[in-house]
Amino acid sequence: MPSFRPSLPRAFALLVVLSLAAGLAGCGTGTGATTAPSAATPTVSGAWVRPPIGADRPAAAYLTITNPGREADALVAVTSPMAMTCEIHETSMDSSGMAGMHPIQRLEIPAGGVVKLEPGGYHVMLMEPKELTIGSTVELTLEFEHAGRVTVQAEVREG
């Protein structure tokens, strides 16, 4: 049975591609910046986290997602090393006018559109968060249905 041996040019090209990918993956991001690999990947700006209002309470994350692509996408999950779990939430009013929030499975991001996660609207709940100090940053990894993962640094601040 013949063994597979890549030609020297192919092996070199593969090495270059892997080196570039590793270099891009290691690039640092500023507060609220993204590690978006292409123009069609949603970008995230203005990311920040409000610390919990008391012991055993969740923290909340807010940010703006811009989808420059020609196709709609959806935010389907968020993770953070600073929380046991993260949930995408929506604030809504019931028929009696009472506001409440509840988890949603996905947040639609329209093609060429912008969706703001802000107090009183969509937001991310960081459940069972680790201790968060004002001025520190929290890593959030947002998973999109089509674009994949985008990691951002969110500043912890009062709000």
pLDDT digits (tens, 9 = 90+) for 42-91: 999 999 999 998 888 999 999 999 999 999 999 999 999 999 999 999 99
Quick one: pLDDT at residue 157? 96
Tokens found for residue 66: 């811009």
Quick one: pLDDT at residue 38? 55
Quick one: pLDDT at residue 130? 94
Phi, psi (deg, nearest 5) at residue 137 = -120, 155
Q: Looking at residues 79-105, what average pLDDT do you find? A: 93
pTM check: above 0.85: no
Tokens found for residue 131: 């201790």
Quick one: pLDDT at residue 88? 98
Tokens found for residue 95: 């028929």
Name the residue type at position 15.
L
Q: Coil, helix or strand for 138? A: strand
Q: Coil, helix or strand for 49? A: strand
Name the residue type at position 30.
G
Does pLDDT of 139 surpass 50? yes
- Maximum distance among all alpha carbons in the chain? 74
Distance CA 69, CA 101 (A): 29
Quick one: pLDDT at residue 140? 98
Does pLDDT of 2 surpass 90? no
Does pLDDT of 8 surpass 70? no
- What is the set of domains in the chain, with CATH numbers? 31-156 (2.60.40.1890)
Q: Coil, helix or strand for 140? A: strand
Tokens found for residue 58: 């969740």
